[in-house]
Structure 1
Amino acid sequence: MSIMRIATIATGQNLQRLIYLAICGLICTYIGVLGISILIGSWLFDENGRPLATDFIAFWGAGKLVLQGHAADAYNWDLHKSISTAESGATFDGYFSWQYPPTFLIVTAALALLSYPAALVAWMATGITLYAAAIRLIGNTRVAILAAMAWPPVLWNTVVGQNGFITAALLGAAIASIEKRPALAGLCFGLLTYKPQFGLMIPLALIAGGFWRVIGWAAVSTTVMIMLSIGLFGAEIWSDFFDAAAKVNGTILVDGRADFSKLQSLYGFVRALGWNWTLAWTAQGLLIAVLSAGIIWIWRQKVAFDVKAAALATVTILASPYAFIYDFVALAIPLAFLGKSGFSAKECAVVIFAGILLVSGPSEHLATAFLSALLVLGLVVGRAWQAFPTLGFAGWSAQRELKP
Structure 2
Amino acid sequence: MADSSTPDFFRDAPWLTRRRLAVYPKLFLLVYVVSALVWLLRSKGLVDPAGHPIGADFIDPWSASWLTLHGAPSAVYDIARLWAVERSAVADPAVGFAGFHYPPVYLLIITPLALIPYAWSLLAWTVATFAAYLGVMWKIDPERDSLWLAIAFPGALVNLTNGQNGFLTLALLGGALLTLERRPIVAGVMFGLMSYKPQYGLLVPIFLIATGRWRTIVSASVTVLLLAALSFAIFGAQTWQAFFSSIAFTRHVVLEQGGSGFEKLQSAFAAARLWGFSVATAYTFQAAISLLAAVAVIWIWRRTPKFDLHAAALATGVLLTTPYVMDYDLVILALPIAWLALEGRRSGFMPYEKSLLVFVWLLPLFARSLAGHAMIPISPLAMILLLADIACRALPITQVDEGDAANA
Kindly indicate whether residue 387 of structure 2 is the aligned counterpart of residue 377 of structure 1.
Answer: yes
Q: Is contact 2:137–2:150 with CA below 8 Å preserved after alignment?
A: yes
Kindly indicate whether residue 392 of structure 2 is the aligned counterpart of residue 366 of structure 1.
Answer: no
- The superposition leaves residues 189-218 of structure 1 with CA deviations (integer Å, 9 ceiling, x where unpaired) of 111111111111111222222221111211
- The superposition leaves residues 229-260 of structure 1 with CA deviations (integer Å, 9 ceiling, x where unpaired) of 01111123212112112211110222222222
CA distance 1:42–1:208, change in 2 (3 Å): farther
Distance 1:313 1:403 in 2: 26
- Higher mean displacement: 198-207 or 55-64: 198-207
Once the two structures are TM-superposed, the CA of residue 132 in structure 1 deviates from its matched residue by 0.7
Per the alignment, residue 212 of structure 1 pairs with 214
Per the alignment, residue 401 of structure 1 pairs with 405
Distance 2:312 2:282 in 1: 26
Per the alignment, residue 266 of structure 1 pairs with 268
Once the two structures are TM-superposed, the CA of residue 398 in structure 1 deviates from its matched residue by 5.2
Once the two structures are TM-superposed, the CA of residue 42 in structure 1 deviates from its matched residue by 7.2
Distance 2:266 2:48 in 1: 29
Distance 2:218 2:235 in 1: 26
Per the alignment, residue 130 of structure 2 pairs with 128
2:117 aligned to 115, 121, 142, which one?
Answer: 115
- Higher mean displacement: 106-115 or 54-63: 106-115
The amino acid of 1:282's aligned partner reads T
Per the alignment, residue 143 of structure 1 pairs with 145
Distance 1:14 1:196 in 2: 38
CA distance 1:313–1:61, change in 2 (3 Å): same
User: Aligned ranges for residues 308-347 of structure 1 at < 5 Å?
Assistant: 308-343=310-345, 344=349, 346-347=352-353
The amino acid of 2:243's aligned partner reads F
2:194 aligned to 192, 195, 218, which one?
Answer: 192
- The superposition leaves residues 307-357 of structure 1 with CA deviations (integer Å, 9 ceiling, x where unpaired) of 111100001001110011100100111112222233537322111122333
Q: Is contact 1:43–1:159 with CA below 8 Å preserved after alignment?
A: no
Aligned-pair identity in percent equals 32
CA distance 1:380–1:50, change in 2 (3 Å): closer
Distance 1:202 1:144 in 2: 27
Q: Is contact 2:86–2:97 with CA below 8 Å preserved after alignment?
A: no
Equivalent pairs, count:
387
CA distance 1:172–1:396, change in 2 (3 Å): same
2:244 aligned to 238, 242, 252, which one?
Answer: 242
User: Aligned ranges for residues 39-118 of structure 1 at < 5 Å?
Assistant: 39-41=41-43, 44-46=46-48, 52=54, 54-118=56-120
Kindly indicate whether residue 203 of structure 2 is the aligned counterpart of residue 201 of structure 1.
Answer: yes
Distance 2:119 2:45 in 1: 10
- Higher mean displacement: 292-301 or 15-24: 292-301
CA distance 1:152–1:229, change in 2 (3 Å): same
CA distance 1:42–1:160, change in 2 (3 Å): farther
The amino acid of 1:349's aligned partner reads S
Per the alignment, residue 309 of structure 2 pairs with 307
Q: Is contact 2:193–2:224 with CA below 8 Å preserved after alignment?
A: yes
CA distance 1:335–1:278, change in 2 (3 Å): same
1:38 aligned to 29, 37, 40, which one?
Answer: 40
Helix, strand or coil at the partner of 1:348:
helix
Q: Is contact 1:12–1:401 with CA below 8 Å preserved after alignment?
A: no
1:257 aligned to 247, 256, 259, which one?
Answer: 259
Helix, strand or coil at the partner of 1:342:
helix
CA distance 1:59–1:120, change in 2 (3 Å): same
Q: Is contact 2:25–2:149 with CA below 8 Å preserved after alignment?
A: yes
Query: Could you state the TM-score of these two structures normalised by the residue count of structure 1?
Result: 0.89
Q: Is contact 1:355–1:372 with CA below 8 Å preserved after alignment?
A: no
1:357 aligned to 356, 363, 379, which one?
Answer: 363
Q: Is contact 2:133–2:170 with CA below 8 Å preserved after alignment?
A: yes
Once the two structures are TM-superposed, the CA of residue 181 in structure 1 deviates from its matched residue by 1.8
2:354 aligned to 331, 339, 348, which one?
Answer: 348
Helix, strand or coil at the partner of 1:98:
coil
Q: Is contact 2:75–2:82 with CA below 8 Å preserved after alignment?
A: yes
- The superposition leaves residues 86-118 of structure 1 with CA deviations (integer Å, 9 ceiling, x where unpaired) of 243134454200010111112222111121111
- Higher mean displacement: 163-172 or 352-361: 352-361
**Gaps spanning 5+ residues in structure 1: where?**
1-10
Distance 2:90 2:316 in 1: 37
CA distance 1:57–1:202, change in 2 (3 Å): same
**Gaps spanning 5+ residues in structure 2: where?**
1-12
- Higher mean displacement: 86-95 or 203-212: 86-95
- Provide the alpha-carbon RMSD of the alignment: 2.4
Q: Is contact 1:310–1:338 with CA below 8 Å preserved after alignment?
A: yes
